[in-house]
């Protein structure tokens, strides 16, 4: 895909010194110290910097960052393109993760929308805004499959399912990169963190992982494969080791699998100072060792630690690194710079976009991402209701944007109180005193609850306990919020909990005291308005969980696509009650793919156009078509995500008890029926062995079509030799 530029690159390479080549592999940030700026400019002038990361710290997602300054960036670009010997432009990268000025739901929430088309549209919007600020390259999407919500970075990925991850990957890449990467309104996307970072042991950030090759190919690689198929330009390597081998220095993962097996043609960038961390990981003694291991493994660009620029010349001279290896890395980087059009259009360019439309799209995606977890005939609320609004998130702004938000403005973000008063009028919203005010007391709180029709609690977590280096040992709601729920329950009023969270939290001991639970996530610039749209019935909820909600932290890991066991030990499908733990039932509180609506859907039994098919027919491109009738039997129109799962009943290796193979999100009007048809083809009926070979085996498959992974709406089909 990007090799079309190679003849042009060969001409450039012939004129470059070894030092200039290595400079293309060096990524630095702009110094905060004004006294160091001249040295920085001189490095650019000498061709010793190939990329600039627009971040002031490794935790840019939650740390304050300097404001964007396109004139400042153009000055560095002018030096690179006019004063350096080879006139090679810089490529500017920034953590544009799930929004720019307009912030969209965190990726885990967006995955819950089960709406790839809307995700792609919103990420197209993100690209327009970021490109307008001189950004060429975004370090997104994050595609780490994760089964442990203690890990703070679960918020940045698509959840626990490889198929959902693949669909989200494709949508994000197409959104960021657009129809032509060289367009002014496109960003180069970066699939991260390759690979296995989300499997960090114990949910501890940066920790070790143990991933079999069988799991790697079937669970952790599919989203990256989809990103590559969508034409992604770059990949970021992960910090972690796999089975004792750091990915940063792994030829197996960076070259053998990523390039030779999957055919990647772009370039690989390290994560922040990951190369020098090989010393701490115990596989390198010196910085030179780090550089040698990483570049020979296939890691092209060194982010921030300058191991390459400081050591590669000597390593080439003493024969430890071939200059051909350097040339190959430079070629990969120049492919992307040429594809982005930076040689022809190096300077910041104005991109015209419709900010009002971006906000409207953010509101739509936030609403479609919200999951109605519980509703005991209390929602939707009447707009004439008197609402007692309490909870720590009612006036919150910054947390609503979520972690890894560098450029969204809290001051432009409506809080939940403002959104609610906009929806139903200030006189209908009772808030009482503030916890920070001396006159606040609980008798006042109870009085406000008593005179209301319903109590709405704005609950959740700060963005500062999510994201990088923000893992938690306990994912349950804090004690103060639990006490507030108990007090609201004691009021005798109906109580609605609206949760503004990043990760899925353990809701046992909380949800039982709530009459309705709306999981709004850290949903971005318009999440407060979108939550009110759902609460008051302007929008019918349609989100589905993209990750399992455990009852307790101690039940982690708990995920739906688990294999069976020889004896009862896994209670996900409620087939063994207390077999997992004798002190509590370890079924999911809310399973994967779960979400309620304001209407009800009735599923007909799935029907196959043919109950059996031969392997030969599958390989020729034929398929089994599975159809099911879905009827809206409620009182309002609503969207339903119809999900198809399979189980390979007998295989050469243990297969999951359920695995999602397709879904379709449809608007079904009240009293209407639709027939939903899926195709089970060769790509959906097989799996990868430990060597990465894909195969479909003969035998019976249970095929489930329903509203979530627990559906028992099943038909059996057969594949024969």
The CA-based angle 220-223-225, given to 5 degrees, is 100
Catalytic residue among 144, 185, 241, 271: 271
Residue 512 CB contacts under 8 Å (≥ 6 apart), including other chains: none
Q: Sign (positive/negative) of CA torsion 222, 228, 229, 230?
A: positive
Structure-token pair, residue 517: 């639970």
Distance CA 298, CA 289 (A): 15
Determine the 3-state secondary structure of 79 from DSSP: helix
- Answer yes or no: are the C-beta atoms of 568 and 579 closer than 8 Å: yes
Q: Which residues pair with 613 in a beta bridge?
A: 719
| Nearest CA among 678, 686, 677 for reference residue 619 | 686
Q: Is 271 a catalytic residue?
A: yes
DSSP code per residue over 389-400: EESTTSS--HHH
Q: Which of 502, 497, 419 is nearest to 105 (CA)?
A: 502
Query: What is the residue-wise DSSP string for 403-469?
Result: SS-SS--GGGS--HHHHHHHHH-GGGEE----TTSTT--HHHHHHHHHTSSEEEEEEE--GGGSSTT
- Map tokens 């089964």 to a residue: 147
How would you classify residue 191: left for phi > 0, otherwise alpha for psi between -120 and 50, otherwise beta?
Answer: beta
Q: In this structure, what token pair is assigned to residue 188?
A: 């180069």
d(CA 574, CA 111): 26
Tokens standing for residue 301: 């660009």
Angle at 550 between CA 546 and CA 552, to 5 degrees: 155
Kindly list the distances between the CA atom of residue 332 and the CA atoms of 136, 273, 460, 688, 702, in Å, as whole numbers in the listed order.
16, 21, 44, 29, 45
Tracing tokens 């938000």 back to the chain, one arrives at 405
Give the CA angle between residues 652, 653, 657 to the nearest 5°: 120
Residues 6+ apart with CB under 8 A from 18: 313, 316, 323, 326
Q: Hey, what are 693's tokens?
A: 């070979």
Alpha-carbon distance of 323 to 219, in angstroms, equals 36
- Kindly tell me the sign of the dihedral angle through the C-alpha atoms of 298, 302, 303, 305: positive
Peptide bond just before 443 cis, omega within 30 deg: no
* Of residues 488, 499, 511, 515, the one with CA closest to residue 390: 488
Which pair of tokens denotes residue 107?
């990726």
In this structure, what is the dihedral angle of CA atoms 259, 689, 216, 623, given to the nearest 10 degrees? 90
How does strand 302-303 pair with strand 241-242? unpaired
Kindly report the CA angle at 516 between 515 and 518, in degrees rounded to 5? 160
What span, in angstroms and rounded, lies between the C-alpha atoms of 683 and 619?
Answer: 9
- 671/656 Cα distance (integer angstroms): 36
Distance CA 627, CA 607 (A): 5
Catalytically active residues are: 271
């Amino acid at each position: 895909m990007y090799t079309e530029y190679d003849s042009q690159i060969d001409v450039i390479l012939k004129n470059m010194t070894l030092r200039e080549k290595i400079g293309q592999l060096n990524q630095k940030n702009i110094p905060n110290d004004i006294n160091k700026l001249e040295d920085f400019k001189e490095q650019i002038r000498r061709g010793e910097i190939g990329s600039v990361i627009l971040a002031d710290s490794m935790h840019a997602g939650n740390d304050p960052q300097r404001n964007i300054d396109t004139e400042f960036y153009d000055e560095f670009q002018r030096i690179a393109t006019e004063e350096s010997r080879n006139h090679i432009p810089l490529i500017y990268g920034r953590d544009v993760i799930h929004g720019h000025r307009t912030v969209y739901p965190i990726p885990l929430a967006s995955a819950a929308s089960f709406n790839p088309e809307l995700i792609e549209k919103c990420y197209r919007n993100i690209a327009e805004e970021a490109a307008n600020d001189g950004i060429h390259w975004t370090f997104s999407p994050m595609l780490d499959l994760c089964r442990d919500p203690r890990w703070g970075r679960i918020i940045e990925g698509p959840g626990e399912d490889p198929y959902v991850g693949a669909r989200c990957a494709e949508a994000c890449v197409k959104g960021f990169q657009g129809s032509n990467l060289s367009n002014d309104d496109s960003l180069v996307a970066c699939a991260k963190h390759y690979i296995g970072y989300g499997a960090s042991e114990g949910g501890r950030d940066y920790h070790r992982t143990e991933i079999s090759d069988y799991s790697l190919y079937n669970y952790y690689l599919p989203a990256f494969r989809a990103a590559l198929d969508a034409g992604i330009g770059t990949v970021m390597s992960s910090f972690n080791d796999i089975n004792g081998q750091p990915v940063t220095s792994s030829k197996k993962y960076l070259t053998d699998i990523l390039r030779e097996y999957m055919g990647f043609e772009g370039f690989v960038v390290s994560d922040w100072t990951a190369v020098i961390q090989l010393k701490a990981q115990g596989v390198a003694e010196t910085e030179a060792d780090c550089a040698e291991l990483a570049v020979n493994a296939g890691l092209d660009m060194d982010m921030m630690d300058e191991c390459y620029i400081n050591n590669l010349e000597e390593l080439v001279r003493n024969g430890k690194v071939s200059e051909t290896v350097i040339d190959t890395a430079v070629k990969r980087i120049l492919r992307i710079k040429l594809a982005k059009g930076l040689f022809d259009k190096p300077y910041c360019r104005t991109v015209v976009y419709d900010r009002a439309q971006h906000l409207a799209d953010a509101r739509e995606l936030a609403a479609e991402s919200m999951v109605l977890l519980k509703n005991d005939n209390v929602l939707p609320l009447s707009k004439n209701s008197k609402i007692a609004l309490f909870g720590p998130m009612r006036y919150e702004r910054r947390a609503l944007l979520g972690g890894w938000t560098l450029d969204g403005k809290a001051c432009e973000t409506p809080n939940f109180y403002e959104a609610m008063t906009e929806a139903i009028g200030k006189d209908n919203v009772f808030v009482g005193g503030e916890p920070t005010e001396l006159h606040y007391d609980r008798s006042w709180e109870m009085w406000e609850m008593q005179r209301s029709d319903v109590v709405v609690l704005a609950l959740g977590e700060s963005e500062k306990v999510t994201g990088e280096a923000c893992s938690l040992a306990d994912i349950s709601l804090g004690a103060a919020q639990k006490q507030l729920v108990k007090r609201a329950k004691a009021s005798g009023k109906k109580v609605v909990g609206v949760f503004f969270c990043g990760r899925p939290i353990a809701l046992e001991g909380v949800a039982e005291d709530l009459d309705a639970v709306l999981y709004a996530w850290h949903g971005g610039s318009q999440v407060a308005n979108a939550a009110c749209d759902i609460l008051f019935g302007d929008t019918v909820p349609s989100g589905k969980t993209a990750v399992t909600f455990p009852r307790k932290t101690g039940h982690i890991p708990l995920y739906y696509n688990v294999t069976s066991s020889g004896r009862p030990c896994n209670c996900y499908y409620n087939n063994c009650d207390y077999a997992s733990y004798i002190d509590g039932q370890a079924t999911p509180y809310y399973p994967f793919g779960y979400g309620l609506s304001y209407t009800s859907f009735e599923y007909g039994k799935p029907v196959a156009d043919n109950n059996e098919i031969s392997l030969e027919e599958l390989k020729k491109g034929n398929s089994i078509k599975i159809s099911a009738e879905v009827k809206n039997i409620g009182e309002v129109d609503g969207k339903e995500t119809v999900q198809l799962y399979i189980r390979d009943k007998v295989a050469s290796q243990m297969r999951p008890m359920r695995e999602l193979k397709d879904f379709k999100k449809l608007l079904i009007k009240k009293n209407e029926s639709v027939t939903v048809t899926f195709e089970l083809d060769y790509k959906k009926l097989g799996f990868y062995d430990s060597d990465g070979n894909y195969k479909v085996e003969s035998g019976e498959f249970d095929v489930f079509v329903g509203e979530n992974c627990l559906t028992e709406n099943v038909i059996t089909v057969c594949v024969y030799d």
